[in-house]
Amino acid sequence: MISTPLLHLAYLVAAVLFIMGLRQLCSPRTAPKGNATSALGMLIAVAATLLAFEIIQPVDLLLGVGAGILIGGVLAWRIQMTAMPQLVALFNGLGGAASALVVLAELTRPKATPLESSSLVAAGVGILIGNITLMGSLMAFGKLQGVIPTGAIRSRILPWLNLMLLLACLGFTGALVGAPDSMVIMLTLVGLSLVLGVTGVMSIGGADMPVMIAFLNALSGLAASATGFALHNEVLIVAGSLVGASGIILTNIMCKGMNRSLGNVMFAGVGVADGSGGALAAPGGGTVKQASPEEAALMLVESELVIVVPGYGLAVAQAQHAVRQLADELEKKGVEVVYAIHPVAGRMPGHMNVLLAEADVDYEKLKDLDEANPLFPQADTVLVIGANDVVNPVARTDTSSPIYGMPILDADKAASCLVLKRSMRPGFSGIENPLYSSDRTMMVFGDAKDTLLELIAQVKQN
Amino acid sequence: MTVELVGFLMVFVLAVFVGFEIITRVPPTLHTPLMSGSNAISGITIVGAIVVVAAGYTGAARWLGVVALAMATINVVGGYVVTQRMLNMFTTRKKSRRRGRS
């Protein structure tokens, strides 16, 4: 047993370690140490808590922790890197749910003195944010896993419904203060906030997923903070607010990558296909030129600089190893290969970077938007793999386009462009891409990985 | 409003500012590990779950606590492990470059 001041000192140490860990996570050199530092903080917080409180129910404790270690460990070890967005969404959701459940346990436990009003408000907010995080993350998980249709659902009523649900939840939080023992109020709040989690994320399409995942990350932190206020536990407050702040920063970076505000992402519902597409006809009557793998390989081999633009299609086809092999073969022939990574390429912040790192691509070769765009006019060939909106020139020119103003990679400024794509179907946003019908662009249809393997074989022969 | 509550509010607000200050100029390469690493930190709610479960309540509070503890543990353990796995991919490359079938 340790005394109460000692417990709070341990929490202080844990908070400092979290802060140091997060700081170190911001630089590639120190990042692995940063993760270990933050894990040490967590270990200290947990150990101190176990030592400070009288453990009346050790079996339950072992049951919960054991199940958690088993499930969490297996998931984390076995997950494929391409499925990382789903896993991050799932962990987010579980964190939010755990916060809400802790609050509910605190409310329903037998107590000698009733909870203070401030604790009750925090409890209501904890349930609200925790449940939104849970259901929002499960929706995101379902969309990423392909269980739930990935398109955005646009409805004029939905934003108003969400607003009303939110106000109702806040109202019931207020009611909870007046009647802390009312099961009806508590369960209504639980139910409404779960529904809000679903309807809130329903309107968000696949391409907006990076923003959503970063935002849910922030919410899972804020849920922990609210729980800390309800339980009067400062380490929950500190750790939760740190995560909330970092999540909000990431959300902001993602929003800038699309030149949209968070409100716009949440409520505008871009991603409703307008019914066009499917045929090989491009807008303006231009036709699309197709290249065979032989022609495509020749274009690549004869280039001096090739810029690879990866997108979500690369992850879907699990083609990250194939693309590195192709780059290796090209480099053997004296071709320089770099990768241009758009901030919102893929389905979560940094998605493409993780995939290419898994395939052992040197991160010096990964160029962000600002580094890559000056390189495009010098590039002989741009190889677009499963990316669409992030190279769509209408974002620069067409003020009526939903993606107008979004910073894009200037693939259309290169001497030639090869686009590997499954079909002519427009991307998740459902917006036609004039890059495909440009004179300088050749399309290679098929599964990205199969096409890349063919290209590798052809390049080897050249 | 008690002095204790004001103290907690102060801790909260200051920690938010610290959070904004330390997460500056994250290279895009680290966006995913930063997110999953900070996600593991949000599993701090495990501490709350331990307090609830250890107290040995009966009825609803007991099972709510156990489920919360399991979920928070998944969040913490899974979050740290998967983050470390990702970060190892970024760093081991220089030391032992796996040459593919080339």
Within-domain flag for B81 = yes
Q: Where does the pLDDT of residue A326 fall: very low under 50, low under 70, confident under 90, or very high at 90 and above?
A: very high
Within chain A, which residue ranges are assigned CATH 3.40.50.1220?
283-461
SS3 content of chain B, % helix, strand, coil (to 5): 80, 0, 20
Q: Which of residues 60-99 of B touch A (CB under 8 A)?
A: 60-62, 64-91, 93, 97-98
Which residue in A has a C-alpha nearest to residue B48's C-alpha?
Answer: A102
Beta carbons of B33 and A35 less than 8 Å apart: yes
A181 given a catalytic annotation: no
A-chain residues near B55 (CB < 8 A) = 53-54, 56-57, 109
Domain, as residue range, for B80: 33-93
Q: What is the pLDDT of residue A328?
A: 93
Within-domain flag for B41 = yes
Question: Once rounded to an integer, what is the mean pLDDT over residues B36-55?
Answer: 94
Whether this model's ipTM surpasses 0.95 comes out as no
Of B12, B26, B64, Cβ closest to residue A225: B12
Beta carbons of A25 and B55 less than 8 Å apart: no
* Highest mean pLDDT: which range of A200-209, A289-298, B6-15: B6-15
Number of domains in chain B: 1
Within-domain flag for B28 = no
Within-domain flag for B27 = no
How distant is the Cα of A217 from the closest Cα of chain B, in angstroms? 6
Within-domain flag for B102 = no
- 3-state DSSP assignment of residue A33: helix
Within-domain flag for B43 = yes
Tokens of A73: 């460990």
Q: Which of residues 5-64 of B touch A (CB under 8 A)?
A: 5, 8, 11-12, 15-20, 22-57, 59-62, 64
B-chain residues near A332 (CB < 8 A) = 102
- B-interface mutation test, from A220, A242, A367, A453, most B Cβ less than 10 A away: A242
Asked if residue A125 has pLDDT above 90, the reply is yes
Within-domain flag for B79 = yes
- Which of A257-266, A352-361, B83-92 is the least confident region? A257-266
Q: Cα(A348)–Cα(A293) distance, rounded to whole angstroms?
A: 31
Within-domain flag for B17 = no
Question: Once rounded to an integer, what is the mean pLDDT over residues A51-64?
Answer: 90
DSSP codes of every residue in A87-98 = HHHHHHHHHHHH
Handedness of CA B34, A210, A359, B28 (dihedral sign): negative
How distant is the Cα of A291 from the closest Cα of chain B, in angstroms? 26
Q: What is the pLDDT of residue A362?
A: 86
Longest dimension (CA), chain B: 69
Helix (H) or strand (E) holding A418: strand A416-421
Which residue in B has a C-alpha nearest to residue A328's C-alpha?
Answer: B102
- Which of A3-17, A227-241, A355-369 is the least confident region? A355-369
Helix (H) or strand (E) holding A63: helix A58-78
R_g (Cα) of chain B, nearest Å: 20
Of A27, A50, A106, Cβ closest to residue B52: A106
Neighbour-count burial for A308-336, b at 16+ CB within 10 Å, e otherwise: bbbbbbbbbbbbbbbbbbbbbbbeeeebb
Of B33, B48, B89, Cβ closest to residue A236: B48
Q: Count chain A–chain B contacts defined by CB atoms under 8 A.
A: 396
Q: What is the pLDDT of residue A348?
A: 87
Q: What is the pLDDT of residue A269?
A: 52
Fold of A283-461: Rossmann fold (3.40.50)
Only one residue has tokens 């769509």, namely: A392
Q: Cα(A50)–Cα(B51) distance, rounded to whole angstroms?
A: 8
Q: Cα(A237)–Cα(A87) distance, rounded to whole angstroms?
A: 25
Beta carbons of A232 and B4 less than 8 Å apart: yes
Residue type, A364: E
Query: Could you tell me where the DSSP H helices lie in A146-182?
Result: 157-178
